[in-house]
Chains A and B, each alone.
Chain A
Amino acid sequence: GQSLEQPSEVTAVEGAIVQINCTYQTSGFYGLSWYQQHDGGAPTFLSYNALDGLEETGRFSSFLSRSDSYGYLLLQELQMKDSASYFCAVSRQRDNYGQNFVFGPGTRLSVLP
C-alpha cells in the first residue's frame, strides 16, 4: 500500500522559519507536491519535486530525497497569512494514463504575532 506521514501541528511566530516534514511509502513514485489549504478554501499548489534536491519559489522551498523517501517544505519569513494546512502529496505513475495523487494527512501551521 501507500502511506504518508506529516506532523499534525506546527506553531511558529511571524518572521520565523518553519520546516514541515513528509515521509512516504509508495510504489511507482513519480514526484512529491505540496499544497496549501486555508480553512474553507481549496488546496492551492505550492511546489513540486521529482528529483533529489531543493526547489525554491519565493519564500517557500521544497526538498526531496528519493533514497530516504523523505521531503520537506520550508517556509521563510513567516506571515500571519501563512496560517493554513499544508499537505504533501505523492504522485504515482499509473501505466500510460498519467498520474494519481495520494495526499498526506496535513500539517496545521499556526503563525503567532
Chain B
Amino acid sequence: DAGVTQSPTHLIKTRGQQVTLRCSPKSGHDTVSWYQQALGQGPQFIFQYYEEEERQRGNFPDRFSGHQFPNYSSELNVNALLLGDSALYLCASSFRLAGAPDTQYFGPGTRLTVL
C-alpha cells in the first residue's frame, strides 16, 4: 500500500518565478492538506482540499493556490516566489469520517529553495 507521495523531492527557483508541487494521497484517503515547514519550526497549515474544493485556509497570501483532482491528488502552486518561501512543503492526507478525528499521514515533502 503506497503511502503519501510528493514530487519533486527538491526544487531550486529564483525570486519572482512560479512553482507547482504535486501530491498523491495514501490509498483510500480523500482529503489533502498542505503545510509549509521552515527550518527548525513546526509545520504551518496552508490549506486543505476535499471534494476538489478548498475547504479551509491558513494565514497564507493569495500567491499560494491549489487544486485537487478527481483522483484525490493535489497540486500546490506558489506565484511570485520570495526568498522567504524557501521551506519544506509537506502534503498530508486523511480520510474524512463524520465525528472521527482526522489522522493525517504526511508525505516526504518537497524542499524548495528560492535564490
Contacts and interface: CB of A to CB of B under 8 A. Distances in A.
Nearest to A32: B101
Interface residues of A, number: 26
B108 A98 contact: no
A102 B56 CA distance: 12
B50 to A, nearest CB: 6
B101 A45 contact: no
B42 A100 contact: no
Interface residues of B, number: 27
Interface string A14-47: 0000000000000000110101000001111100
Contacts, number: 67
B25 to A, nearest CB: 13
A45 B55 contact: no
Given A98-B96, A102-B45, A44 B33 contact: no
A101 B44 CA distance: 9
B107 A103 contact: no
A41 B107 CA distance: 9
A63 interface: no
Nearest to A106: B42
Contacts of B96: 98
Nearest to A94: B56
Contacts of B107: 42
Contacts of A43: 43, 90, 106
Contacts of B31: 98
Contacts of A105: 41-42
A45 B102 CA distance: 11
12 contacts: A41-B108, A42-B107, A45-B103, A45-B105, A94-B56, A97-B55, A98-B31, A98-B48, A99-B102, A100-B58, A102-B45, A103-B43
